[in-house]
Amino acid sequence: MSCSFDQALDIVTQLLDALHRAHLGEAPDFDIVPDGLIVKMDDNNRPVVRIDLDRGDDVCPPKPLSLWRYRAPERWWGAEKNSWTDQYALAALFVELVTGEAPFADVFATEDVNIVKTVLANRPPNLPADLPRRAVLLRALAKDPRARYRSCSAFVAALAGFPSAKTASSAEQADVQSRKTRVRRPLAKRTIAFALAAIAALVWGFKSGWLQQMLETYGSSRQVDYQKRVDAYEKARAAEQTSFRQDREAKLAALQAEIGRQSAVAAAALKEYRDFLANGGCAALSVSRDVRAQKARKAAEDLSTAENELTADRTLENALISLLQSGKFMSGVVPRAIPADSEVVAAYRNLIEKAKSLGDLQLKYTDRHPSVIAAQKNHSDAKIRFTTAIDGARKQIQTRIELREKTVDGLRHVSEAAEKESLSAEQAFAAAEAKQFALKRAVERESDRLADLRRKEIELRFGIRFGTASASTNRAEKAEQVAREPHL
């Protein structure tokens, strides 16, 4: 609802009187809020204001947020109520009464406290160019309380078109001093004569109508010229505002189209990342990698065990060959590679015993003695037994070596195949992990770009600035740099 300038001034004057009485303690203090003012017209079509003291400026932001549209900027950051905040509320109320819309109405319509605070701290109120007393209202709506009028009374006086008390007093003092100076100054005869002639001419011009005609013509021409300049200024101002709005709307349309495209890109990146995770992602490949690695370790252990057994058999074979060919079996020393409970060791001990018995008999008797001949035969039988035991053991070991060599060859192929599978699984897991990392970074990068575009839209729509560079942009650039590096 809008009203005339005089009606709005009458309402603000009544509120000023109520604030003054509240300051003197003659009435309760109150906040100027939209739902706390009741305006009715009397019989003379004069507005009468009634204040609802139950309505006030609550601590928490109200719903809707537009109930705080008269609230001064400093009060959004915790400042106490004072005459400067009342002055801002009176000015905001006056603008809404005259124009039908309070300052920053489009910002309060967003219902976002952060946006409202940012706009109130940075953007001046956009008042119509043809609003009466526009300069007075802009001063009362200043961001800095010290830039406003010294009091609510001074603001209402300036709004009504009255000079301040200090200015009026100075003018009166200057006028009185000038008159005193002119009275004290002696008048020369020529001056008196000239003054009388001028007065006579003025009287004649007035009686004849010539002076009135000249004044009317001059005043009319000046008024027409002034009105032309005002019309030209308003026209240029309106054209400038129209051009600005059209340019802003075109930029907003282009930015919204870019936001739509970027939203699709961000949604596609998020969908690809979620599909990758839904298909198993790195988890399934991680299990496969662990299984293949365990299989490769088991094959390597089996191969190592078979190779150790083959080496032991070859060592035993070499020991038997060395024992048989070197003739050291008479020394009583048995190689460690030969098992102590084997037939070879038993035959070897029997051979040592028979050789010792033969040696003892040869010391007592001659070689033709029956005891020596029998001992020689026993020693020869023991030697044959020992040789036969070694040959049998060698054949058994050679057969076992052949089987072990085949086993080792088979296990070597199995181990190599398992190692290749493990390496392939490790590479597949590394590739999947790199892909998951790249998809995640892509989601963050596209989301940050979308956030930057939306930040630019808010800046362009409400005429505010959040900063030269956002943290999301820096994070997106860093993510791109990390994504370009090789994944380890």
pLDDT tens digits, residue range 367-380?
888 888 898 899 88
pLDDT at 407: 93
pLDDT at residue 246 is higher than 50: yes
Q: Are 32 and 90 in contact (CB under 8 A)?
A: yes
Selection from 105-109, 246-250, 301-305 with the highest mean pLDDT: 301-305
pLDDT at 168: 37
For 81-107, what is each residue's pLDDT tens digit?
Answer: 888 999 999 999 899 889 988 898 888
In CATH, which of 1.20.1280.290, 3.90.1150.10, 1.10.510.10, 1.10.540.10 is domain 5-166?
1.10.510.10
pLDDT at residue 109 is higher than 70: yes
Angle between helices 5-23 and 83-99 (to 10 degrees): 160
pLDDT at residue 253 is higher than 70: yes
DSSP strand E in 337-448: where?
A: none
pLDDT at 293: 92
With CA atoms as reference, report the closest residue to 113 among 146, 67, 81, 145. Answer: 67
Q: For the chain, give every domain's residue range.
A: 5-166, 186-253, 280-484
Q: On the CB side of 364, how many CA atoms lie within 13 Å of its CA?
A: 12
Mean pLDDT for all residues in the chain:
79
Which bin fits 133, alpha (ψ -120 to 50), beta or left (φ > 0)?
left
End-to-end CA distance of the chain: 68
Contacts of 351 (CB under 8 A, 6+ apart): 329, 379, 382, 383, 385, 386
pLDDT at 53: 60
pLDDT at 184: 41
pLDDT at 396: 87
454 vs 17, 211, 365, 378, CA distance in Å?
Answer: 46, 68, 122, 110
For 419-429, what is each residue's pLDDT tens digit?
Answer: 999 999 889 88
Calpha distance 344→387 (Å, rounded): 8
The amino acid that residue 350 corresponds to is N
pLDDT at residue 340 is higher than 90: no
pLDDT at 71: 87
With CA atoms as reference, report the closest residue to 107 among 475, 478, 464. Answer: 464
DSSP string, 24-91: TTSS------GGGEEEEE-TTS-EEEEE-TT----SSPPSSGGGGTT--GGGGGTPPP-HHHHHHHHH
pLDDT at residue 313 is higher than 60: yes
pLDDT at residue 148 is higher than 90: yes
Average pLDDT of the segment spanning 245-271: 90
Selection from 38-42, 109-113, 280-284, 461-465 with the highest mean pLDDT: 109-113
pTM, 2 dp:
0.41
- The confidence band for 317, taking pLDDT boundaries of 50, 70 and 90, is confident
pLDDT at residue 304 is higher than 90: yes
Calpha distance 193→179 (Å, rounded): 20
Q: What is the dihedral of CA 475, 479, 480, 482, to 10 degrees?
A: 140
User: Longest C-alpha distance within the chain, in Å?
Assistant: 197
pLDDT at 193: 67
pLDDT at 63: 62
| Exposure letters 99-128 (e unless 16+ CB within 10 A, then b) | beebbbeebbeeeeeebbebbbeebebebe
Q: At which residue do the structure tokens 């943290």 appear?
A: 471
Calpha distance 193→201 (Å, rounded): 12
DSSP 8-state class, residue 365: S
pLDDT at 163: 54
Burial (CB count <10 Å: 0-12, 13-18, 19+), residue 136: buried
Calpha distance 273→436 (Å, rounded): 7
